[in-house]
Amino acid sequence: MKAELQQLVALQNLDTSIRKLQLELEAIPTRRAEIEAEFDRRAFEIRALETARDDARHSRSQLEIEVSEQKTRAERAERNLMSSKKQDEYTAAIREADAARKQISTLETQILEKMEALEKAEASLTERADEVASLNSDREARLKSFDDETREQATRLAASRAERERLINALPKAMGADYNRISKRIRDGIAVAEARNGACMACFMALRPQAMAQVRRGDEVITCENCNRILYYAPAESASTNPAPAQPKVAHT
């Protein structure tokens, strides 16, 4: 019986780690999507910077073409001014030259703005040059290591399940069935609880002294009257030498 209770505790520990692995595996699609979203966000930012840089560059050359057109217009107006014979020709030439100069001044302000935008975008891209260069390979590497980790967890889970089968089959049939029944009914799946200091360590209900004595003897399966878990007793010396005994969490059932 004592050996069987030890097997139950081992089974319980295994089930706890199986449950943890399952939760991790269930969270994988979400975690993978988060990694992809993070890389998408960075790629989007970089594309936006590149677009801003290209747009500024293009606008600047367009504005420069317009400036040279306005300079031609101003020169023509200056020539007309020199050759004007009549007052109205003279006035028209002055007005034309003024308009062209005003236009040039506006265009030059716009060119300065485009140059600032261009410098800003280029500076940001220079700052992130390493990231830009390796973004795609970083993404692939990050996802690959995530997928490797996932496969490893799935392998561990399969191995743990096989080990669980082995442990269940090694138990007397009725005991294995009891364990499975209790484990399924209890929300956290902890079917085995340590009895210590006269209480169940899962629900903290005090045990009758006779029940505690029976658990200590370990000749039969004793369950907690409150939470129905199978109780086992770990002698104090083994509990103190083993820092992580099978100690179930408190369940709110």
Which positions touch Zn ion (CB under 5 A)?
A: 200, 202-203, 224, 226-227
Closer residue to Zn ion (CB): 93 or 203? 203
Token pair 């269930």: residue: 26
Structural contact between residues 185 and 232, judged by C-beta atoms closer than 8 angstroms: no
Closer residue to Zn ion (CB): 125 or 250? 250
Structural contact between residues 190 and 249, judged by C-beta atoms closer than 8 angstroms: yes
Closer residue to Zn ion (CB): 107 or 232? 232
Tokens at residue 205, please? Answer: 């209900």
Closer residue to Zn ion (CB): 9 or 74? 9
Tokens at residue 136, please? Answer: 């795609």
- Nearest distance, CB of residue 219 and Zn ion, angstroms: 20
- Nearest distance, CB of residue 201 and Zn ion, angstroms: 8
Closer residue to Zn ion (CB): 224 or 246? 224
- Nearest distance, CB of residue 224 and Zn ion, angstroms: 3
- Nearest distance, CB of residue 28 and Zn ion, angstroms: 34
Tokens at residue 37, please? Answer: 């979203």
Closer residue to Zn ion (CB): 74 or 203? 203
- Nearest distance, CB of residue 35 and Zn ion, angstroms: 42
Cα distances from 244 to residues 13, 134, 238, 248, in angstroms, run: 11, 44, 10, 11
Query: At residue 74, what is the residue type?
Result: A
- Nearest distance, CB of residue 199 and Zn ion, angstroms: 8
- Quick one: CA torsion of 239, 242, 246, 247, rounded to 10 degrees? 60
Tokens at residue 196, please? Answer: 């210590």
Structural contact between residues 109 and 59, judged by C-beta atoms closer than 8 angstroms: no
- Nearest distance, CB of residue 229 and Zn ion, angstroms: 5
How far is it, in rounded angstroms, from Cα 36 to Cα 171? 46
Closer residue to Zn ion (CB): 44 or 204? 204
Question: Which residues have C-beta within 8 Å of that of residue 49, sequence separation ≥ 6?
Answer: 121, 124, 125, 128
Q: Is 170 in a helix, a strand, or coil? A: helix
